[in-house]
């Protein structure tokens, strides 16, 4: 038995295999539920109801999707250019730190929000710039350096929360002082528990899509990702394209931190992100790195998390079922994509 490439996969293959991947993920979920001693159909039902079954649940899902859209976009942009940015978590915290630094009284009035957003993006971009410069100048693999930056940043945040950014009124909790009201993101509608970060995330997705499909930079990013040598041979400024990609990617990841601080928490704490930077990888891959697809997959992933939390409270199945399902979905999906392009032949 061996694998043979399929030159032009038909529509059946292109839809069939990803659909199978989703079914397989559902199957895994049901098996896990059964292992946990719960009724598989009830567990799946509770996850769906917990995610979208009520106005409150739906809003929670949209809120949870907001940082995931940003980190998903950050990773989609980078991976498209084959820049392996696994450090979205660190860039997210860089954005969060800057948001708190600027939003606790240094600036006032209506300029706080736009300035803190831009400064956060800059901070996130700078955090990714280091590893990318090491990659393009010295050939240091960016996977490990960006990963290690996540740990360095987590310690830096811990230092800030126990030192310079410690809330004197925090009653011993390691958290920063609260943002001033002008630095908080307003809600998208009166009485609606959904902040403008979600709207901006949608706008960013469209923005990234425009950049990727309608600009020279977008073309160059895709060319560098598709074939670095060919891009260089064609006279493209590969180094500069990679650096611009990094700035965009780091900036987008930082906006996740900005939105979480300014829209949800109102202060910086070490548990600001339960791994949004890592989950962004799943979001981006499930979206096949398409910026508009990122919105859909972020909603799906957020729904699974929110739904699993609700299900766990009711059915007693550990919430980590959500992480397992999503990791399984990621692996099934990459496998499905590969299977659309190859067939197994005998001989």
Q: Which residues bind another protein (CB under 8 A)?
A: 2-3, 32, 35-36, 84, 86, 134, 138-141, 143-145, 147-152, 155-156, 158-159, 162-163, 278, 281-282, 285, 316, 318, 320-321, 323-324, 326-328, 330-331, 334-335, 338-339, 342
Least spacing, CB of residue 21 vs another protein, in Å: 12
Local structure of 344: helix, strand or coil: strand
Least spacing, CB of residue 41 vs another protein, in Å: 19
DSSP calls for 186-253: PBSSTT-S-BHHHHHHHHHHHHHHHHHHHSHHHHHHHHHHH-HHHHHHTT--HHHHHHHHHHHHHHHH
Least spacing, CB of residue 271 vs another protein, in Å: 12
Q: Which is nearer to another protein, 59 or 140 (CB)?
A: 140
Cα atoms in the 13 Å half-sphere on the side-chain side of 311 = 30
Least spacing, CB of residue 117 vs another protein, in Å: 27
Q: Which is nearer to another protein, 17 or 258 (CB)?
A: 17
Local structure of 2: helix, strand or coil: strand
Cα atoms in the 13 Å half-sphere on the side-chain side of 171 = 0
Beta carbons of 318 and 36 less than 8 angstroms apart: yes
Name the token pair of 216.
């020279």
Q: Which is nearer to another protein, 202 or 327 (CB)?
A: 327
Q: Which is nearer to another protein, 23 or 144 (CB)?
A: 144
Q: Which is nearer to another protein, 119 or 284 (CB)?
A: 284
Least spacing, CB of residue 178 vs another protein, in Å: 23
**Cβ-count burial of 68 within 10 angstroms (0-12 exposed, 13-18 middle, 19+ buried)?**
buried
Beta carbons of 29 and 322 less than 8 angstroms apart: no
* Contact partners, residue 138, CB within 8 Å, separation at least 6: none
Least spacing, CB of residue 143 vs another protein, in Å: 6
What is the DSSP secondary structure assignment for residue 346, as one 8-state letter? -
Least spacing, CB of residue 84 vs another protein, in Å: 5
Least spacing, CB of residue 5 vs another protein, in Å: 9
Q: Which is nearer to another protein, 296 or 342 (CB)?
A: 342
Q: Which is nearer to another protein, 42 or 148 (CB)?
A: 148
Could you give the C-alpha distances from 277 to 63, 85, 184, 193, in angstroms and in order?
A: 16, 10, 22, 24
Q: CA-CA distance, 19 to 15, in Å (whole number)?
A: 6
Instruction: Report which of 160, 157, 159, 133 is spatially closest to residue 145, judged by C-alpha positions.
Output: 133
Q: Which is nearer to another protein, 39 or 141 (CB)?
A: 141
């Amino acid at each position: 038995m061996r694998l043979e490439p399929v030159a032009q996969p038909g529509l059946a293959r292109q839809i069939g295999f990803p659909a199978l991947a989703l079914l397989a993920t559902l199957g895994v979920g049901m098996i896990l539920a059964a292992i946990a001693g719960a009724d598989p159909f009830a567990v799946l039902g509770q996850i769906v109801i917990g995610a979208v079954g009520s106005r409150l649940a739906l809003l929670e899902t949209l809120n949870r999707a907001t940082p995931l859209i940003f980190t998903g976009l950050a990773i989609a942009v980078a991976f498209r250019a084959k820049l392996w940015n696994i450090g979205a978590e660190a860039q997210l915290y860089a954005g969060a730190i800057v948001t708190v630094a600027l939003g606790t009284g240094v600036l006032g009035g209506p300029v706080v929000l736009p300035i803190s957003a831009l400064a956060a993006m800059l901070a996130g971009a700078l955090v990714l710039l280091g590893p990318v410069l090491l990659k393009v100048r010295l050939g240091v693999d960016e996977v490990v350096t960006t990963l290690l930056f996540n740990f360095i940043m987590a310690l830096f945040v811990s230092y800030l929360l126990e030192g310079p950014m410690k809330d004197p009124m925090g009653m011993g909790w390691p958290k920063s002082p609260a943002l001033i009201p002008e630095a908080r993101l307003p809600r998208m509608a009166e009485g609606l528990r959904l902040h403008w970060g979600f709207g901006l995330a949608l706008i960013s997705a469209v923005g990234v899509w425009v950049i990727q499909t309608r600009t020279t930079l977008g073309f160059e990013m895709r060319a560098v990702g598709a074939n670095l040598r060919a891009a260089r041979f064609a006279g493209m400024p590969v180094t500069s394209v990679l650096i611009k990609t990094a700035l965009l990617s780091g900036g987008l990841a930082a906006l996740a931190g900005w939105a979480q601080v300014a829209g949800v928490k109102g202060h910086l704490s070490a548990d600001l992100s339960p791994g949004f930077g890592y989950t962004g990888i799943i979001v981006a891959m499930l979206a096949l790195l398409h910026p508009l697809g990122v919105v859909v997959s972020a909603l799906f992933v957020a729904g699974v998390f929110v739904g699993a939390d609700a299900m766990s409270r009711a059915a007693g199945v550990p919430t980590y079922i959500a992480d397992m399902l999503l990791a399984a979905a990621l692996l099934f999906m990459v496998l499905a994509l590969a299977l659309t392009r190859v067939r197994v032949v005998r001989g």
